[in-house]
Amino acid sequence: MLHGGHLLSVLIFFPAVGALALLLLRGDDHKFIRIIALIVSLAEFLFSLLMIRAVPVGAAGYHLEEYLKWINQPPIHYHLGVDGISLFLMILTTFLTPISILASWKSIEHRVKEFFVMLLMLEVGVVGVFLSLDLFLFFLFWEVMLIPMAFLIGIWGHERRVYAAVKFVLYTMAGSILMLVGIIWLYNATGTFDLPTIQTLLHTPASQGGLELAPRTEMLLFLAFFLAFAIKVPLFPLHTWLPDAHVEAPTAGSVMLAGVLLKMGTYGMIRFCLPLFPEASRRAAGWVAVLAIIGIIYGALVAMVQPNLKKLVAYSSVSHLGFVVLGIFAFHNISMQGAVYQMLAHGISTGALFLLVGMLYDRRHTFEISEYGGLATPMPKLAAFFLFVALSSLGLPMLNGFVGEYLVLLGTYQRHWGWATWAALGVILSACYLLWSYQRVFFGEITREKNRTLPDASAREKWILATVAVVTLWMGIGSTFITKRTAAAAQDVIDQVEPQRPYEAAAPNIVAPNVLTTDGATTRAKQIPSSAATKVALTERLGTR
């Protein structure tokens, strides 16, 4: 065990303990089950905030590391750690879980205990993915996440829920198999599953005990990992499972799917594809950028013509996450920070859109836009919140959506102005489909008599939406709180990709280069000690050669 203590283990397994407690309760005590699930998720969120102090501003590398030998042969270690990138994705996960529980307070009436158990176990899988620094452990949590999400869609979804759940599982498993092949190949070549150790070996010359990959081998390994993550994003043209999953999932399932599960794909690209396979990443960057730009424009155009409100929001995710992939493969510090920020902003804004669509569905039991119209009259408060969230999603300045998209376009423009020019069309198109859909749902004459007596937002719904609105506004005006903690970690990833800045993880100390933060200040990061766990694993590895 390293000096990091047990905080990361608590964050992973505390929701599992809560799920076990729920299983011991009587199935018909719905109120008590909901209260226990909410308390567990809120406690998990508070625990996650403790990580902020452990990630110093301007420091790259992993913090709060936990390293234990788990399985001797093959050598699988329980290795956890958090850096500036995974920190806020973790907090996003723990924030959206209690929001999802509150959103399901009244809408879930059958198998209530099992529903909240699945939500908490989903949190276990996602948190484990963001904290794992061992490839086997990462893959384990990657697969653990799949089971509760499939149940949430297949049991508590809508009419075509089984079809959507099976499609989700098949797509994800197809990518997982490819990634597993890549993981096994890396183990056979390095003798370890430890991620930092493998990174060190791949960036160390063969004459010094490292591992040099042939260009073709590196590209094949890159594709094995990349396809798994591209399916999860999802990147065009691998996106067709997402609209079905979103439309058929319950509200909480859509919030968690859009809020955190899709981010696992882009996180994997940052954590694995770029550092492990830098040369292949550079060679593939042009094609990946083309697919990302197609996804941005195609997702926006398809969203614009959708008659189904929930499917419209689902296709908006394809468009917005195209910005994230573009920012990652532009290989610029600003665009990388913008990609991370866009992940967080998309999780909040699109999650809130699904919450609002779910609230409309609870009242009318339809997602068809034609069934609405003039709703601002009977429900002005809900209409106001919907407009606020729509404006944040389309990138209005002072709200969270603007920061991420602006940084992505700014950083991308400095590397490839053509990419940024085409991607900027997505910003315009997002305003078109979001404002047009808002006009059709909330403005105009009431054409359905049922809509005249629809109740406005309840007290519980107001608390949910107000909380999300406060976070949205805070992220829009206080962005430096996040960016100054992600800058060094983003630069560390870029330094491993750029050939003129070789990776030096095996050295006793790593001095990070100047890092441009988004508030305009250029700072030099502190000396960063290499991971103690990496030194241990590397010593073990080289000692066996």
> Is residue 210 situated within a structural domain?
yes
CA angle 538, 540, 543 (to 5 degrees): 105
| pLDDT at site 390 | 92
Average pLDDT rounded to a whole number, residues 113-133: 91
Residue 404 has pLDDT above 50, yes or no: yes
Give the 3-state secondary structure of residue 63: strand
> Is residue 495 situated within a structural domain?
yes
Indicate the number of domains in the chain.
1
Domain that holds residue 193: 7-543
For residue range 180-202, what is the model confidence (pLDDT) as tens digits? 999 999 998 888 888 888 888 88
pLDDT bin (cut points 50, 70, 90) of residue 362 is confident
Q: What percentage of the chain carries pLDDT values higher than 70?
A: 90
> Is residue 538 situated within a structural domain?
yes
171, 255, 403 from 178: Cα distances, Å: 11, 27, 34
Neighbours of 100 (CB within 10 A): 29
> Is residue 161 situated within a structural domain?
yes
Residue 384 has pLDDT above 70, yes or no: yes
> First and final CA of the chain: distance in angstroms?
25
Average pLDDT rounded to a whole number, residues 482-508: 68
| pLDDT at site 353 | 92
For residue range 317-332, what is the model confidence (pLDDT) as tens digits? 889 999 999 999 988 8
| pLDDT at site 191 | 85
| pLDDT at site 530 | 47
| pLDDT at site 234 | 87
pLDDT bin (cut points 50, 70, 90) of residue 267 is very high
Residue 4 has pLDDT above 60, yes or no: no
| pLDDT at site 493 | 86
Residue 531 has pLDDT above 70, yes or no: no
User: pTM for this structure?
Assistant: 0.85
| pLDDT at site 533 | 56
Residue 99 has pLDDT above 60, yes or no: yes
Mean pLDDT of the chain: 84
Q: What percentage of the chain carries pLDDT values higher than 90?
A: 32
Average pLDDT rounded to a whole number, residues 352-359: 91
Neighbours of 415 (CB within 10 A): 16
> Is residue 183 situated within a structural domain?
yes
107, with CB counted inside 10 A (0-12, 13-18, 19+), is: middle
Helices and strands: H and E segment counts in the chain:
22, 6
For residue range 156-172, what is the model confidence (pLDDT) as tens digits? 888 888 998 999 899 88
> Is residue 244 situated within a structural domain?
yes
For residue range 413-441, what is the model confidence (pLDDT) as tens digits? 988 888 888 989 988 999 999 999 999 88
| Torsion sign over Cα 362, 367, 373, 374 | positive
Please tell me the least confidently modeled range out of 353-357, 372-376, 471-475. Answer: 372-376
449, with CB counted inside 10 A (0-12, 13-18, 19+), is: exposed
Dist CA 373 CA 262 (whole Å): 31
Residue 474 has pLDDT above 80, yes or no: yes
Dist CA 307 CA 398 (whole Å): 30
> Is residue 1 situated within a structural domain?
no
Q: What is the DSSP letter of 257?
A: I
Integer-rounded Cα Rg, in Å, for the chain is 23
Average pLDDT rounded to a whole number, residues 509-533: 39
Which tokens in the block code for residue 428?
């315009």
Residue 273 has pLDDT above 50, yes or no: yes
> Is residue 2 situated within a structural domain?
no
| pLDDT at site 333 | 87
Dist CA 530 CA 278 (whole Å): 20
